[in-house]
Amino acid sequence: MDSKPISTDPPAPAHAPAGPSSLQLGMFGKYRLVDQLAVGGMAQVFLAQIEGPDGFTKRCVIKTILPEYAELTNFAQMFVTEAKVAALLSHPHIVQIYDFGKVENRYYLAMEYVDGVSVEQLLRAAAKRGVPLGPKVALGLSLPLLDALSYIYTLVGPEGQPLELVHRDVTPGNVLVSSNGIVKLTDFGVVKTAVNPSQTSAGMVKGKYAYMSPEQVRAKPLDQRSDLFSLGVVLYEVATGRRLFRRNSLAETISAVNSGKVPPPSSLVPDFPPGLERILLRALNLDRDQRYRNAHEMMSDLEMFRSGQHWTAGARELSHLVDGLFPNDQKRGQSPYAKGVLPRPDTTPTGGGQHPPPLEDPIPSVVDEIDLRSTSSAAEPLGRRSLGSLEVGLILAGVFLLGALIWVLVLG
């Protein structure tokens, strides 16, 4: 593992704020806040609407940074960067940003409201039912996400300069699926751009460790192959129903990512499609030179695989999945915008404090599966166990010595 110290960005204040000054529902600038979707240590997220004459209304989401953090340069800069980058993006599979501003010392973003759930919520709901989402769902998610990533990688600035965007935070929590089955990528707060070097200081690590590429964990220079690795982790977990790198502690998670050990999906899921396994393992190669060079190349392989399987994975199937796992009466209690606001178990706490107890993860890890198989193998009767190379060598040596002894006795 690289010896360079790892830190998270942005740095925490010397003393954590005593407590957030929560906004109340009602008017906030030109927006009416109608419901709180999420609240955490740094931000609040609201369902809102903008109102016009003759009963005109339009729903949106308002994300505000708390005043205590607005004065901290790095926190505010991440918020501003998300706004500036998102303002350049216009793609059907990327959550749109409508507005950015400041009201009473609070930065805010007004963004598209996605009536649905995150892939993280889908993973947890499926795990609680004991049924993994599976390869078809992974394929249905992969193609629109790769289309979105391919778009951002080729984006140029107002003056025609390549932006060289790298999302750096492709995780299940940042992939939303609407009730209509439309897949959306969100949260560009830690994006790397060629024209914003302040966001990529040496030695700084941004994102969630369990979904980082090895080079991202080591704070190395990044390109789009890092995002494709992260997407590979998401798709692996969707297809197998197992956490790939997430462990019980941050140190164990980082070690797992650095090791690059990826159990073939077929070792976890019977009859796993070989073609999809090959694509996932290439995206998850420890050596980035052996991965897909770009999103378009990976998308072409997946489209060819889908054609060979005669699968119809798409928006309609994803819509049925969301409705099946989250009936209307349950969906009201779910917010895909809650992620990224509350601290996660695989990120470093801010303010020098401790994380709140993480939500129990119903999704097993690949390590759990391997440990179970190792225990089962150790319990096999001796007569059924195959001999190791050392044991075979000792037996052959014994046979040779016995033969030599017999030969000496006969001739003697």
Which alpha helices (H) appear in 154-294, and where do they start and end? 214-217, 224-240, 250-259, 274-283
Cα 318 from Cα 311, distance rounded (Å): 13
Q: Which of 9, 147, 169, 227 is catalytic?
A: 169
Tokens at 6, concatenated: 């790892």
Cα 23 from Cα 40, distance rounded (Å): 12
- 3-state helix vs strand vs coil in the chain, percent to 5: 45, 15, 40
**Residue 169: active-site member:** yes
Cα 50 from Cα 210, distance rounded (Å): 38
- Measured between alpha carbons, how far is residue 234 from residues 95, 146, 220, 237, 270 in Å? 18, 12, 21, 5, 20
**In degrees, to the nearest 5, what angle opens at C-alpha 196 toward C-alphas 193 and 224?**
15
Tokens at 32, concatenated: 């009416």
Cα 225 from Cα 161, distance rounded (Å): 21
Instruction: For residue 201, give the 3-state DSSP assignment.
Output: coil
Q: Around 329, how many Cα atoms within 13 Å sit in the side-chain half-sphere?
A: 0
| Catalytic positions | 169
